[in-house]
Amino acid sequence: MRKRPMKSFTTLAIEHEDDLLFGTCPKPVRLTPHIVIGGGQTMPEVNYILPYGSEVSAETLEQVVTLYRTMAAGTLQRALDLGVPALIIEIELVFELTLNPEWGEKVVRATREVMGEFEAKGVHSALRTTVADIRDRVRPPRNRTSAETELMFESFERCAPYSDILSIESTGGKEVNDSALLQCNAGDIVFAMGTLASNDMAFLWRRIVDICGRHGKVAGGDAACGFANTAMQLAHKHMVPTVLAAVVRAVGAARSLVALECGATGPDKDCAYEGPILKAIAGIPISMEGKSAACAHTSPIGNVAMSCCDLWSNESVPYAQLFGGYTPEVSLENLWYDCKLMNQATRSGSALMLRNLLSESDVHTSAEALVLAPASCFRIARAILDEYFALGDSRAAHYTALYAEKFIPAEYGL
């Protein structure tokens, strides 16, 4: 594979914070003639997973594939019933489906087939496949040369033909970050995300972008989920201060930007709450999750997370029956009504007002919400670009200061 030059972002794609809005961005992504993300409308992104207690094995694979087919059909039928014109379905491959790439391919292909059936009925949909980062099954992880690494890339290759968007939540640097988080050691957190994770992402995303290019698919983006959302959940449990979790969120933006430097175009991942910062810098469309993801986890950012989204997601919901139908269908309905509200606000010229209401309803109760307010995101984005050209010097200083004392797997190539 030829090494691509990395892009560099030197100016903000969105020049004024009032232009950091939901449903629109400078670089919308056209997936199909009917689906343009960030082109003026928000749309739902639905993610679901097998029921509690499900087992994925060679023996259960056919049942698993059938269940994925059923979940897709139910979701798309609800879209048809509600008149949802377009939606994104996300399949996050669990470990077993990535460790066995042919299994993951079967699930994704089955989902694509169901989507095709509903396309004929007028429901337009696109598929995001998120491959699991399985590289840290062994500790310390061998991020570049292990069997898991190759299986992961094989999984991308096999799923690409049936997907529209490919994504990952990569975990390079997490082994250092987890320890630093527990110690509330901001210096080591910056090192883990700014140096180790960023370096790993450059390796990873060059290959993912290459795979997407060969298959004519969209390279979505990465999420600092294993870093910043871990911090958010630890803060929620009073294990670390919430202010630290807010700082980790901001640091995560510089890390996730690397995917875009390598050629990813968005839409960014839903659990990448750092998305608005990336949107301000690179102008890409982003997926976000907030109150809509209460089915998956709690958060103090339920409304503010919606304020700049292009896709509005439920994060993930295990398949189960509720009074109102099965969980993916219920999630879609909730997401769709939120999207309708945002789209109506755009049509009536009230988008900025709604964005500010969403933001202001959260920012006074949580540092983590405050760091995601559009004004804060805009300032962080500007700060990242302002520091960009000092990066070379700071990296050199960082290595000198830390390399001798830290365990750094040789595979980071430092």
Partner 1 sequence: MSSIVETIAMCVERGKVNKTSPYPPDLKGQDGADELTAQALADKVPANDILTKGLMIGMGKVGGKFSRNEVFVPDLLMAAKAMTAAMKHLKPYFESGEAKHRGTFVVGTVQGDLHDIGKNLVSMVMEGGGFEVIDLGVDVSPEKFMKAVEEHPGCAVGLSALLTMTMVNMEKTVKLIKEKCPSTKILVGGAPLTEEFCRKIGADSYSPDPQGALDYLSTVYA
Contacting positions for partner 1 (CB under 8 A): 49-50, 52-56, 94-96, 136-137, 139, 178, 181-184, 230, 233-234, 238-241, 318
Shortest distance, position 333 Cβ to partner 1, whole Å: 22
Q: Provide the minimum distance between the beta carbon of 300 and partner 1 in the complex, in angstroms, as a whole number.
A: 16
For partner 1, the closer of residues 157 and 175 by Cβ is: 175
Nearer to partner 1, 53 or 392 (CB): 53
Amino acid identity, residue 11? T
326 with 260: CB under 8 angstroms? no
| Helix residue ranges, H only, 11-146 | 61-82, 95-99, 101-119
Beta carbon nearer to partner 1, 142 or 382:
142
Work out how close the CB of 303 gets to partner 1 at its nearest, in angstroms, rounded to a whole number.
Answer: 23
Smallest separation, CB 296 to partner 1 (Å) = 10
Q: Is-contact 311 285, C-beta < 8 A? A: yes
Q: Which is nearer to partner 1, 48 or 118 (CB)?
A: 48
Query: How far is residue 333's CA from residue 265's CA, in Å, rounded to a whole number?
Result: 28
E strand residue ranges, 314-387: 317-318, 321-322, 325-326
By beta-carbon proximity to partner 1, the closer residue of 179 and 303 is: 179
- Pair 192, 174: CB distance under 8 Å: yes
- Smallest distance from partner 1 to CB 169, Å: 12
Cβ-based nearer residue to partner 1, 92 or 268 = 92
User: Which is closer to partner 1, CB of 78 or CB of 135?
Assistant: 135
CB atoms within 10 A of CB 207: 15
Structure tokens at 218: 């969209």
Q: How far is the CB of 179 from partner 1 (least distance, A)?
A: 9
**Contact yes or no for 105/162 (Cβ under 8 A):** yes
Q: Which is nearer to partner 1, 56 or 330 (CB)?
A: 56
User: CA–CA separation, 133 vs 194, rounded Å?
Assistant: 19
Six token digits for residue 414 = 């430092």
Tell me which long-range contacts 181-188 makes (C-beta under 8 A, separation of at least 24): 181/227, 181/230, 181/231, 181/234, 181/240, 181/244, 181/248, 182/234, 182/239, 182/240, 184/240, 184/241, 184/244, 186/244, 186/247
Q: How far is the CB of 319 from partner 1 (least distance, A)?
A: 11
Contact 128, 164 (CB under 8 A): yes
How far apart are the C-alpha atoms of 277 and 183, rounded to whole Å?
Answer: 26
Residue type, 103: W
Q: How far is the CB of 118 from partner 1 (least distance, A)?
A: 27
Q: Minimum distance from CB of 239 to partner 1 (Å)?
A: 5
Q: Which is nearer to partner 1, 223 or 234 (CB)?
A: 234
**Half-sphere exposure (Cβ direction) of 78: Cα atoms closer than 13 Å:** 23
